[in-house]
Amino acid sequence: MKKVFIYLLLAMAALMFLYPFWWMIAASFSEERSIPTVQFLPARFTVDHYIGLFNSIPALRALLNSLFVSVAVTTGVLVFGSMTGYALARHRFRGRSLIFYIIIFTMTLPFQLTLIPNYILMVKFGWTNSFAALIIPGMLNAFAILLFRQHFQTIPQDLIDAARMDGCSEFRILFQILWPLSVPTLVTAGIITFMTTWNDVLWPIIVIREENLMTMPQLITLFAVGGRSMAQIGMKLAGATLLAAPILIAYMIFQRHFIQSMAAAGQRE
Amino acid sequence: MPYLVHVLVFVLFPVGFSFFLTFHNWNIIGPMEYTGLANYKRLVQDPLFFTSVRNTLVFLLLHIPLQLILALGLAVALNRQVWFRAFFRGAFFMPVVVSRVVVTIMWQQLYGFETGTINRWLGVLGMERIGWLTDPAWAMPSIAIMATWKNVGLYIILFLVGLQSVPPSLYEAAQLEGAGKWQQFRYITLPAIAPTTFVVVVLSTIGGFSLFIEPYVMTGGGPLNSTLSSVLYIYKQGFFYYHMGYAATLGIIFALMILLVVFVQRRFLEKNRP
């Protein structure tokens, strides 16, 4: 009896979490006027909303922009984050603990504090309306550095010493010897960075005004807010579906990694 | 060290510059004008600032308890031998990975007054329709419910990790002492997962102060400013009116509030630890 109750509870909860997604997809394939009647299946199936979306806003361009920016930021975080983490974990130099405290400090800083000055910085650098504004400030973050530092501390010193004896440069030690041993850490930092960059919308809205440079979340947001989508619910939902699709597909394939990475990130706070 | 340069330019300099800005009036294009404490004086007298603080409190007072109950309840239900466990976990976690924009657009339709799915079901159950996003008393709670739906999957996972770290021997010992299920939960489980609870509360608090896209897309801060969030207000002052000095002041005050609230929560947790 108790078992039945628990399954009932879980099934109802699962329905609550899955149904809105299902509804969004079904409604995005329904004729505009019949969207209010959609319950489980598309009413009067049509792909017009998707065609209309690609015709009225540069959605394909925005998807490519998002992909480019997210890949660039993720690469930057993995390369520079592991370099900094390696230096902090394995090198002794003056000011090391000071830098460590700076990193902890920056992690506790709410972003509200740096939003305005960072925007002014972009204006002064002349980076507004360029990918530089989207990529460069995000290329290093404290979370990834701490993650790599912690991981590199567990690697035996003998291994690094042996590599140095063989005349390996520090870069080769890091990228050819340590990286292959750090796949789980790379995956965690990679997934978190890629996902946050792909989903971010506040920063792009602030620094990008030119439609051709917009990322997908920004383009869809402005489309949903601006007058162009007036009474075009189907197109809004089609845009949201397109924005969610890549990350949802990635999630379905790498579900376990996503959950573990996010849990690791959450506990760190 | 590229890190040093990066942190100097994009973190430490902005922090200092932010404080500098609060003593000035500036619209970015024209010259900067020194105004002393005028921005702070203005803030204390700004009704919209207090509205946004109140809205954030309304959000947090609903969001945090809802989040804790749902996350802990579902985590406890999942933390036993159940079939399809991976499926349930995967379903609960799905809203976590998509953008807030997606969730907002989706829920805007679900919340619709005339034809929204939720109101239609309420009608089936014989209840009155609710103006989820059009009634000033409901708008912020609606956003809080949506945010709970979006984030609770992550907290379920965190609680699951916490629950699994409780040594089973504790429960066995309690059973020998004759403690009931509820007593075990109250005196063993809850204290053991207190650190996780703290993390969830802190993350939810930060989330409450970071609301932006939800009101921006759904309500534009309305009706009657009832969903004007802190970040939306900073955004409006900075990028609508170009009051950079005042926007920076708001940023600093909200940041201090977050740190203060988190500090108080930490003290509260430590005091109540057995």
Spell out the SS3 assignment of A92-150: CCCCHHHHHHHHHHHHHCCHHHHHHHHHHHHHHHCCCCCHHHHHHHHCCCHHHHHHHHH
Task: Give dist(CA A257, CA A185) in Å, integer.
Answer: 11
Give the mean pLDDT of B54-67.
94
Task: Give dist(CA B271, CA B20) in Å, integer.
Answer: 38
Report the percentage of chain B scoring pLDDT > 70. 94
Task: Give dist(CA B245, CA B28) in Å, integer.
Answer: 10
| Domain regions of chain A by residue span | 58-225
**Structural domains of chain B, count:** 1
Closest-approach residue (CA) in chain A for B85: A10
| CB proximity under 8 Å: B 82-121 to A | 82-83, 86-102, 104-110, 112, 114-115, 117
Question: A184-224: per-residue pLDDT in tens?
Answer: 889 989 998 999 999 999 999 989 988 889 999 999 998 88
Question: B172-200: per-residue pLDDT in tens?
Answer: 888 888 777 888 888 888 888 888 888 89
Give the mean pLDDT of B98-120.
87
Which of B12, B91, B157 faces A17 most closely, judged by CB atoms?
A: B91
Closest-approach residue (CA) in chain B for A106: B11
Do the chains contact at B213 and A17, CB–CB below 8 Å?
A: no
The dihedral built from the CA positions of residue B196, B197, B198 and B201, taken in this order, carries a sign that is positive
CB < 8 Å to B249, chain A? none
Given a contact cutoff of 8 angstroms between Cβ atoms, the answer to whether B220 and B232 are in contact is: no
Do the chains contact at A247 and B96, CB–CB below 8 Å?
A: no
Do the chains contact at B98 and A244, CB–CB below 8 Å?
A: yes
CB < 8 Å to B105, chain A? 24, 220, 224, 236-237, 239-240
Which residues lie below 8 Å from residue B251, measured CB to CB, with a gap of 6+? A112, A113, A114, A115, A116, B18, B234
Residue B7 has pLDDT above 70, yes or no: no
pLDDT-flagged residues of chain A (< 70): 226-231, 267-269
Task: Give dist(CA A152, CA B194) in Å, integer.
Answer: 30
Question: B76-99: per-residue pLDDT in tens?
Answer: 988 887 788 888 988 999 999 999
| CB proximity under 8 Å: B 39-68 to A | none
Task: Give dist(CA B85, CA B42) in Å, integer.
Answer: 54
The dihedral built from the CA positions of residue B210, B147, B107 and A257, taken in this order, carries a sign that is positive
Classify residue A105 as exposed, middle or buried by CB count within 10 Å of its CB (0-12, 13-18, 19+): middle
Range of the domain at B181: 47-100+136-271
User: Which residue in A21, A37, A102, A115 has the most chain B C-beta atoms within 10 A of its own C-beta, making it the best mutation to test that interface?
Assistant: A115
Residue B165: band (very low, low, confident or very high) from pLDDT cuts 50, 70, 90: confident
Q: What is the pLDDT of residue A178?
A: 85
Give the mean pLDDT of B122-131.
82
Which of A116, A139, A140 faces B244 most closely, judged by CB atoms?
A: A116
Task: Give dist(CA A139, CA A174) in Å, integer.
Answer: 18
Residue B120 in any domain: the answer is no
Task: Give dist(CA B145, CA B157) in Å, integer.
Answer: 19
Q: What is the pLDDT of residue B82?
A: 78
Both tokens of residue A20? 């809105």
Give the mean pLDDT of B56-81.
92
Both tokens of residue A223? 């489309």
Task: Give dist(CA B60, CA B58) in Å, integer.
Answer: 6
Residue B68 has pLDDT above 90, yes or no: yes
Which residues lie below 8 Å from residue B49, measured CB to CB, with a gap of 6+? B43, B233, B250, B253
B95: CATH: 1.10.3720.10
Residue B195 in any domain: the answer is yes
Both tokens of residue A91? 């090198």
Do the chains contact at B157 and A263, CB–CB below 8 Å?
A: yes
- State the complex-level ipTM: 0.87
**Which CATH superfamily hosts domain A58-225?**
MetI-like (1.10.3720.10)
Residue B73: band (very low, low, confident or very high) from pLDDT cuts 50, 70, 90: very high
Task: Give dist(CA A8, CA B71) in Å, integer.
Answer: 17
Task: Give dist(CA B143, CA B141) in Å, integer.
Answer: 5
Residue B252 in any domain: the answer is yes
Work out the minimum CA distance from B91 to partner chain A, whole angstroms: 6
CB < 8 Å to B161, chain A? 263, 267
By C-alpha distance, which of A119, A113, A147, A139 is closest to A269?
A: A147
Q: What is the pLDDT of residue A24?
A: 93
Residue B106: band (very low, low, confident or very high) from pLDDT cuts 50, 70, 90: very high
By C-alpha distance, which of B132, B110, B131 is closest to B121?
A: B110
Bridge partner list, A45: A30
B259 reaches A (C-beta below 8 A): yes
Which residues lie below 8 Å from residue A47, measured CB to CB, with a gap of 6+? A29
Q: What is the pLDDT of residue B4?
A: 66
Q: What is the pLDDT of residue A68?
A: 95
Enter the pTM of the model: 0.88
Do the chains contact at B2 and A83, CB–CB below 8 Å?
A: yes
